[in-house]
């Protein structure tokens, strides 16, 4: 217990956590934000559920702010890690979790303060910020994957591949939540943008799902630590169903309640549409959204059954940050079913949505307890594979230049942080040598044997250079795999 308190309050341990902080931690904000939506849209509404959702919204804002500060600090201390994060497929995919977590905050603002004009204006501005973040992450990460990263193999395909395109679908869902509170012309602009994002995101996700389905058919199910990635397809399909229903309902209401007149415009020779025609068109659009949403829910139900069967066959042995892939996808699925139940007035769908919502809440509690205990309390979930090797490679050129008189300069902040990192990890011996203390073991150490002892320490006599080299090789071995036990393993 004393050691745990020392770990919690010692400044060095928090510096180490920041050093090992990766974008995969933003999946926590994704799951927490989805809890807000399922509570607000619960098929059996109650005021205490909205109050509880508000508490989760405040918590999500705090978590997103904390994680953003951690990530920015990490990249400021070690700028080389930003480039290597983009170059590492197992980490660059999780950049999509950042805009998704931001979207959930915007949706909460609309849900709790939608009747206030100032809040709507703020949400409208944040919506465009989220659109910019989504396009930068989704399109940018794919471009980097095509041009900079090493080739990928079919066997390495997991549900994580969807995280690059999920933000586009979530953007469309955020726009659908915002539409009823906007006025012309902002509402039509958001409607068009949201539908384009929905179209682009759904088409890309369906392409990836096709590849993923063939990977499951050609090879075995994902590894035990990555088995929860089988639930990720529920995310874009559930959010897509919710988004298209919201957009269709708004457009239907817009046509019915306004002087909407499609066509070339005045002077074209065509008269205005009759009231009966506009009502019929509006009803068709509304039902078209319901039908498309029902189709996507049917597709998501298939993946839910398959993911549950895979989980039963290969149950994970230890908790890792990847378990948060349970909450957001299943929450997106429950949220879409809740909207369908309300539109169709179906008691069966209402009961199924309530069951899924309860499951989401239980999974969130389980993941929260595991994250607080193993992550923030013990620090075992903070792990970036090959970190020491990346930093050493980034500092290699600096050290070469320092050996040349014409390039003599002050030691950089990144190099000072690196020296502090190794100094705090060294355990001295009587003969003046030292060994490097490691607080966690990666998948390469467990599966390949490595050179680690059972207590997690490097072998006696191993030098710091050997340790750094081992880190570099581990980073190269894991780049593109995403199957380590410390980061978000999907």
pLDDT score of 428: 40
pLDDT bin (cut points 50, 70, 90) of residue 278 is confident
Distance between CA atoms of residues 235 and 38, nearest Å: 13
Least confident range from 143-157, 256-270, 297-311, 430-444: namely 430-444
Check pLDDT > 70 for residue 390: no
Least confident range from 143-157, 339-353, 358-372, 378-392: namely 378-392
Instruction: Pick 84 or 445 by higher pLDDT.
Output: 84
User: Of the segments 83-87, 103-107, 325-329, 470-474, which one has the largest average pLDDT value?
Assistant: 103-107
Check pLDDT > 80 for residue 464: no
pLDDT bin (cut points 50, 70, 90) of residue 35 is very high
pLDDT score of 220: 77
pLDDT bin (cut points 50, 70, 90) of residue 336 is very high
Average pLDDT value over all residues in the chain: 75
pLDDT score of 13: 63
Check pLDDT > 60 for residue 433: no
User: Of the segments 13-17, 155-159, 183-187, 191-195, which one has the largest average pLDDT value?
Assistant: 191-195
Three-state SS letters, the chain: CHHHHHHHHCHHHHHHHHHCCCHHHHHHHHHHHHHHHHHHCCCCCCHHHHHHHHHHHHHHHHHHHHHHHHHHHHHHHCHHHHHHHHHCHHHHHHHHHHHHHHHHHHHHHHHHHCCCHHHHHHHHHHHHHHHHHHHHHHHHHHHHHHHCCCCCCHHHCCHHHHHHCHHHHHHHHHHHHHHHHCCCCHHHHHHHHHHHHHHHHHHHHHHHHHHHHHHHHHCCCCCHHHHHHHHCCHHHHHHHHHHHHHHHHHHHHHHHHCCCCCCCCCCCCCCCCCHHHHHHHHHHHHHHHHHHHHHHHHHHHHHHHHHHHHHHHCCCCCCCHHHHHCHHHHHHHHHHHHHHHHHHCCHHHHHHHHHHHHHHHHHHHHHHHHHHHHHHHCCCCCCCCCHHHHHHHHHHHHHHHHCCHHHCCCCCHHHHHHHHHHHHHEEECCCCCEEECCCCCCHHHHHHCCCECCCCCECCCCCHHHHHHHHHHHHHHHCCCCCCCCCCCC
pLDDT score of 375: 64
Average pLDDT over residues 124-131: 94
pLDDT bin (cut points 50, 70, 90) of residue 365 is very high
User: Of the segments 75-84, 345-354, 406-415, which one has the largest average pLDDT value?
Assistant: 345-354
pLDDT bin (cut points 50, 70, 90) of residue 417 is low
Contacts of residue 13, Cβ cutoff 8 Å, sequence gap at least 6 = 7, 379
The predicted-structure confidence for 371-388, as pLDDT tens digits, reads as follows: 887 766 665 555 544 444
Check pLDDT > 70 for residue 210: yes
Distance between CA atoms of residues 293 and 316, nearest Å: 32
pLDDT score of 216: 85
Distance between CA atoms of residues 322 and 343, nearest Å: 34
Check pLDDT > 80 for residue 318: no
The predicted-structure confidence for 245-257, as pLDDT tens digits, reads as follows: 999 999 988 888 7
pLDDT score of 477: 43
Q: Rounded to two decimals, what is the model's pTM? A: 0.74
pLDDT score of 259: 59
The predicted-structure confidence for 213-227, as pLDDT tens digits, reads as follows: 888 888 877 777 778
The predicted-structure confidence for 107-119, as pLDDT tens digits, reads as follows: 999 999 988 899 9
Average pLDDT over residues 25-40: 91
Average pLDDT over residues 7-15: 53
pLDDT score of 377: 64
CA 47 to chain centre: 29
Q: Dihedral of CA 392/446/328/155: which sign?
A: positive
pLDDT bin (cut points 50, 70, 90) of residue 304 is very high
pLDDT score of 169: 93
């Amino acid at each position: 217990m004393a050691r745990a308190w020392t770990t919690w309050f010692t400044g060095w341990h928090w510096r180490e956590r920041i050093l090992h902080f990766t974008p995969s931690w933003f999946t926590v904000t994704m799951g927490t934000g989805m809890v807000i939506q399922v509570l607000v849209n619960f098929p059996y509404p109650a005021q205490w559920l909205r109050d509880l959702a508000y508490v989760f919204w405040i918590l999500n804002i705090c978590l997103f702010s904390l994680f953003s500060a951690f990530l920015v600090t990490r990249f400021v201390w070690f700028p080389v890690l930003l480039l290597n994060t983009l170059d590492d497929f197992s980490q660059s995919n999780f950049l999509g979790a950042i805009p998704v977590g931001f979207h959930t905050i915007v949706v909460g603002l609309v849900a709790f303060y939608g009747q206030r004009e100032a809040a709507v204006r703020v949400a409208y501005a944040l919506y465009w910020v989220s659109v910019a973040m989504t396009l930068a992450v989704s399109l940018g990460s794919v471009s980097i994957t095509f041009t900079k990263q090493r080739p990928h193999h079919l066997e390495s395909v997991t549900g994580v591949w969807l995280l690059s395109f999920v933000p586009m679908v979530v953007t469309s869902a955020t726009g659908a939540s915002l539409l009823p509170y906007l006025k012309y012309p902002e509402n039509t602009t958001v409607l068009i943008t949201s539908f384009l994002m929905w179209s682009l995101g759904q088409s890309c996700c369906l392409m990836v799902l096709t590849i993923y389905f063939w990977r499951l058919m050609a090879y075995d199910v994902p590894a035990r630590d990555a088995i929860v990635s089988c639930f990720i397809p529920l995310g874009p399909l559930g959010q897509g169903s919710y988004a298209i229903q919201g957009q269709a309902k708004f457009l239907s209401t817009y046509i019915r309640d306004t002087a909407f007149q499609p066509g070339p415009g005045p002077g074209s020779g065509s008269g205005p549409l009759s009231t009966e025609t506009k009502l019929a068109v509006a009803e068709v659009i509304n039902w078209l959204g319901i039908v498309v949403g029902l189709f996507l829910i049917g597709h998501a139900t298939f993946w839910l059954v398959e993911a549950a069967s895979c989980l039963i066959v290969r149950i994970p042995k230890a908790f890792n940050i990847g378990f948060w892939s349970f909450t957001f996808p299943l929450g997106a699925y429950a949220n879409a079913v809740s909207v369908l139940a309300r539109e169709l007035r179906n008691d069966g769908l209402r009961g199924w949505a309530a069951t899924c919502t309860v499951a989401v809440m239980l999974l969130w509690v389980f993941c929260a307890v595991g994250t607080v205990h193993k992550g923030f309390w013990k620090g075992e979930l903070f792990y970036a594979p090959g970190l020491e090797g990346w930093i050493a490679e980034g500092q290699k050129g600096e050290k070469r230049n320092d050996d040349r008189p014409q390039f003599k300069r002050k030691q950089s902040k990144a190099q000072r942080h690196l020296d502090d990192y190794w100094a705090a990890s060294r355990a001295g011996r009587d003969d003046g040598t030292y060994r490097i203390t490691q607080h966690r073991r990666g998948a390469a150490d467990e599966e390949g044997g490595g050179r680690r002892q059972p207590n997690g320490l490097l072998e006696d006599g191993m030098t710091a250079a050997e340790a750094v080299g081992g880190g570099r090789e581990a980073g190269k071995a894991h780049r593109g795999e995403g199957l380590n036990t410390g980061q978000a393993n999907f």
